């Protein structure tokens, strides 16, 4: 027994040595990395910065254009093996003189904000890159769906910031007391940036139309879906201003958090999760609107993931799923089963509510599914919504600008 253990541990040591040897021989960057960085204590943390990165990010006016906030360093002569000749550190800054005599100066807080530790990177991601998303199921909806005043969003940066932060965190946030006009939504959009124009227009009117170009313009049940999955550059957020709500029964909105559903499927139905994240489907929209004909196609899975396995986009629409199935024939039936499961879970975990006149329901169109129960118009009461799309690029950009303005984050740039 003892001998066996010894043999095993000697084998282990050999294996470790070989691993390191291979890494050093075959992994050129690792070898360089071992010697080519500077470590310094900033606010109680030992933080390391590669020389090459420090030189690349020199903030002097020859290397970095101050008003354009952009790197202007000439990369055709850039030395990847750059080394410092001299390093001086004082209370607030680090000064490096490189072997060619060039001098760089860095603010220590600026460096810390860019440090390579997992904790600091996570902090930056949530503070500036994108706020952390919090998933929810239908029964939590009343708690997570915050209500914001139209006037406050228009007149206060803090009001605008709070609304956009909730919208990005939960994927939904409601605006109340919007004036009863078809242009009221424009002022909200302008506070963020500008709309995403699609073949349905800069804005669109959701109202019952019998010979419609889109089934959303019918009063029958509208199955849960995301809007315009057939766009490669899919509109990020959907703003729906309720101008006239139906007084009849029905017309309730349904909303579900596609990220919550994805987590649930990943945990409980791994085979279906694989199908929904891997099998590409062809989303399509073909028709004419305002005398412009269109033929949009885009192929993507229902649940799109990034390389870390995080959900980036949900695509789901029964009417806008084309009949061309780009996968193999044996994938069809299992994929349909996964598709049915996805729809059923979105219903099971959905929130049901009815927007009021003056509400603007804002939601993340690449995360949430929405739908509506059937309703009936009558002569003096015709349900009418005005909608507009805004992309996440614009929303995140506005959020970052506001965060800096309101909280004077000076280490950001
Ligand atoms: Zn420089």
pLDDT digits (tens, 9 = 90+) for 223-243: 999 999 999 999 999 999 999
Judge contact between 254 and 350, C-beta under 8 A.
Answer: yes
Say how many Å lie between the CA of residue 73 and the centre of ligand 1.
7
Say how many Å lie between the CA of residue 63 and the centre of ligand 1.
4
Judge contact between 374 and 249, C-beta under 8 A.
Answer: no
Report the length, in residues, of the chain: 413
Say how many Å lie between the CA of residue 58 and the centre of ligand 1.
5
Task: Pull the structure tokens for residue 117.
Answer: 């530790």
* Local confidence band at 33 (pLDDT 50, 70, 90 cut-offs): very low
Residues in contact with 226: Cβ distance below 8 Å, sequence separation at least 6, in sequence order: 234, 258, 314, 315, 316, 317, 365, 366, 368, 369, 370
Judge contact between 208 and 354, C-beta under 8 A.
Answer: no
Say how many Å lie between the CA of residue 79 and the centre of ligand 1.
13
Please give the helix or strand (H or E) that residue 164 lies within, else none: helix 157-170
Strand partners, 93: 107
Say how many Å lie between the CA of residue 57 and the centre of ligand 1.
8
| Mean pLDDT (whole number) for 265-283 | 98
Say how many Å lie between the CA of residue 61 and the centre of ligand 1.
6
Say how many Å lie between the CA of residue 82 and the centre of ligand 1.
13
Say how many Å lie between the CA of residue 115 and the centre of ligand 1.
19
Say how many Å lie between the CA of residue 80 and the centre of ligand 1.
15
Say how many Å lie between the CA of residue 304 and the centre of ligand 1.
41
Give, in order, the Cα–Cα distances in Å from 189 to each of 132, 228, 307, 345, 390.
Answer: 23, 19, 32, 32, 7
Say how many Å lie between the CA of residue 53 and the centre of ligand 1.
12
What are 368-379's pLDDT values in tens digits?
A: 999 988 888 777
Say how many Å lie between the CA of residue 412 and the centre of ligand 1.
19
Nearest CA-CA partner of 188 in 197, 179, 198: 179
- pLDDT of residue 2 exceeding 50, the answer is no
Chain mean pLDDT for the chain: 90
Say how many Å lie between the CA of residue 86 and the centre of ligand 1.
15
Distance CA 285, CA 295 (A): 6
Say how many Å lie between the CA of residue 118 and the centre of ligand 1.
27
Say how many Å lie between the CA of residue 116 and the centre of ligand 1.
21
Residue 337 or residue 209, greater confidence: 337
Say how many Å lie between the CA of residue 413 and the centre of ligand 1.
16
Say how many Å lie between the CA of residue 33 and the centre of ligand 1.
22
| C-alpha Rg value of the chain to the nearest Å | 27
Given CA atoms 205, 210, 213, 215 in this order, what sign does their dihedral have?
A: positive
Say how many Å lie between the CA of residue 401 and the centre of ligand 1.
27
Task: Pull the structure tokens for residue 378.
Answer: 């009558």
- Least confident range of 42-46, 143-147, 308-312: 42-46
Task: Pull the structure tokens for residue 352.
Answer: 């049901």
- pLDDT of residue 14 exceeding 90, the answer is no
| Mean pLDDT (whole number) for 144-153 | 98
Say how many Å lie between the CA of residue 84 and the centre of ligand 1.
13
Say how many Å lie between the CA of residue 146 and the centre of ligand 1.
47
Q: Between helices 184-192 and 392-407, what is the axis angle to 10°?
A: 70
Say how many Å lie between the CA of residue 24 and the centre of ligand 1.
32
Residue 409 is predicted with a pLDDT of 62
Say how many Å lie between the CA of residue 46 and the centre of ligand 1.
25
Say how many Å lie between the CA of residue 87 and the centre of ligand 1.
15
- The pTM of the full predicted model, rounded to 2 decimals, is 0.88
* Local confidence band at 222 (pLDDT 50, 70, 90 cut-offs): confident
* Local confidence band at 155 (pLDDT 50, 70, 90 cut-offs): very high
Say how many Å lie between the CA of residue 361 and the centre of ligand 1.
49
Say how many Å lie between the CA of residue 409 and the centre of ligand 1.
24
Distance CA 327, CA 229 (A): 18
Residue 265 or residue 17, greater confidence: 265
- pLDDT of residue 30 exceeding 80, the answer is no
What are 162-186's pLDDT values in tens digits?
A: 999 999 999 999 999 999 999 999 9
Distance CA 113, CA 59 (A): 15
Nearest CA-CA partner of 273 in 182, 337, 347, 210: 337
Judge contact between 342 and 223, C-beta under 8 A.
Answer: no
Judge contact between 45 and 112, C-beta under 8 A.
Answer: yes
Provide the percentage of residues in the chain whose pLDDT is more than 90. 78
Say how many Å lie between the CA of residue 17 and the centre of ligand 1.
41
- pLDDT of residue 288 exceeding 70, the answer is yes
- pLDDT of residue 16 exceeding 70, the answer is no
* Cβ count within 10 A of residue 128: 17
What are 335-347's pLDDT values in tens digits?
A: 999 999 999 999 9
Domains of the chain (ranges, CATH numbers): 36-129 (3.30.2020.30), 138-404 (3.60.130.10)
Please give the helix or strand (H or E) that residue 253 lies within, else none: strand 253-257
Give, in order, the Cα–Cα distances in Å from 6 to each of 3, 10, 14, 19, 385.
Answer: 5, 6, 12, 20, 76
Say how many Å lie between the CA of residue 105 and the centre of ligand 1.
8
- pLDDT of residue 28 exceeding 50, the answer is no
Residue 399 is predicted with a pLDDT of 97
Residue 246 is predicted with a pLDDT of 84
Distance CA 71, CA 280 (A): 39
The C-alpha angle with vertex 326 and arms to 322 and 331, in degrees rounded to 5, equals: 105
Residue 219 is predicted with a pLDDT of 74
State CA 253 to chain mean position distance: 23
Say how many Å lie between the CA of residue 119 and the centre of ligand 1.
28
272-293: string of b/e by CB count within 10 Å (b at 16+)?
bbebbbebebbbbbeeebeeee
Residue 373 is predicted with a pLDDT of 85
What are 42-71's pLDDT values in tens digits?
A: 988 999 999 999 999 999 999 999 999 999
Residues in contact with 345: Cβ distance below 8 Å, sequence separation at least 6, in sequence order: 261, 264, 265
Say how many Å lie between the CA of residue 62 and the centre of ligand 1.
5
- pLDDT of residue 367 exceeding 90, the answer is yes
Say how many Å lie between the CA of residue 56 and the centre of ligand 1.
8
Task: Pull the structure tokens for residue 390.
Answer: 């805004």
Residue 247 is predicted with a pLDDT of 82
Judge contact between 373 and 221, C-beta under 8 A.
Answer: yes
Distance CA 156, CA 158 (A): 5
Say how many Å lie between the CA of residue 96 and the centre of ligand 1.
10
Judge contact between 249 and 378, C-beta under 8 A.
Answer: no
Judge contact between 170 and 162, C-beta under 8 A.
Answer: no
Judge contact between 219 and 376, C-beta under 8 A.
Answer: yes
Judge contact between 151 and 362, C-beta under 8 A.
Answer: no
| Mean pLDDT (whole number) for 119-138 | 94
């Amino acid at each position: 027994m003892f001998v066996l253990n010894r043999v095993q541990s000697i084998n282990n040591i050999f294996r470790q040595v070989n691993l390191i040897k291979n890494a050093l021989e075959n992994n050129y960057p690792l070898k360089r990395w071992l010697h080519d960085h500077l470590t310094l204590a900033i606010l109680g943390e030992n933080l390391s910065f590669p020389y090459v990165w420090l030189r690349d990010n020199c903030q002097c006016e020859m290397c970095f254009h101050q008003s354009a906030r952009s790197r202007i360093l000439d990369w055709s002569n850039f030395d990847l093996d750059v080394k410092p000749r001299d390093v001086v550190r004082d209370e607030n800054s680090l000064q490096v003189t490189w072997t060619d005599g060039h001098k760089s100066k860095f603010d220590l807080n600026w460096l810390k904000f860019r440090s390579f530790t997992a904790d600091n990177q996570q902090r930056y991601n949530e503070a500036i890159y994108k706020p952390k998303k919090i998933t929810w199921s239908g029964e939590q909806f009343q708690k997570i769906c915050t209500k914001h005043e139209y006037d406050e969003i228009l007149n206060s940066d803090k009001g605008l910031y709070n609304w956009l932060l909730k919208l990005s965190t939960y994927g939904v946030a409601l605006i109340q007391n919007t004036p009863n006009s078809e242009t009221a939504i424009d002022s909200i959009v302008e506070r963020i940036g500008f709309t995403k124009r699609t073949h349905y227009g800069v804005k669109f009117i959701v109202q019952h139309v019998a010979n419609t170009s889109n089934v959303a313009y019918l009063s029958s049940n509208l199955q849960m879906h995301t809007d315009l999955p057939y766009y490669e550059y899919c509109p990020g957020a959907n703003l729906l201003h309720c101008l006239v709500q139906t007084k009849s029964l029905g017309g309730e909105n349904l909303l579900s958090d596609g990220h919550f559903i994805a987590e649930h499927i990943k945990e409980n139905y791994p085979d279906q999760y694989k199908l929904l994240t891997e099998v590409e489907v062809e989303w399509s929209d073909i028709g004419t609107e305002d005398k412009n004909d269109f033929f949009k196609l885009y192929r993507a899975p229902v649940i799109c993931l990034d390389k870390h396995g995080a959900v980036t986009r949900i695509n789901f629409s029964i009417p806008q799923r084309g009949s061309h199935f780009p996968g193999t024939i044996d994938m069809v039936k299992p994929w349909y089963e996964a598709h049915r499961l996805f729809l059923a879970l979105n219903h099971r975990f959905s929130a049901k509510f009815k927007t009021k006149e003056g509400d603007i329901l804002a939601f993340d169109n690449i995360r949430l599914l929405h739908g509506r129960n059937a309703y009936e118009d009558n002569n003096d009461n015709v349900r009418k919504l005005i909608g507009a799309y805004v992309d996440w690029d614009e929303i995140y950009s506005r959020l970052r600008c506001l965060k800096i303005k309101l909280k004077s984050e000076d280490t950001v740039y």
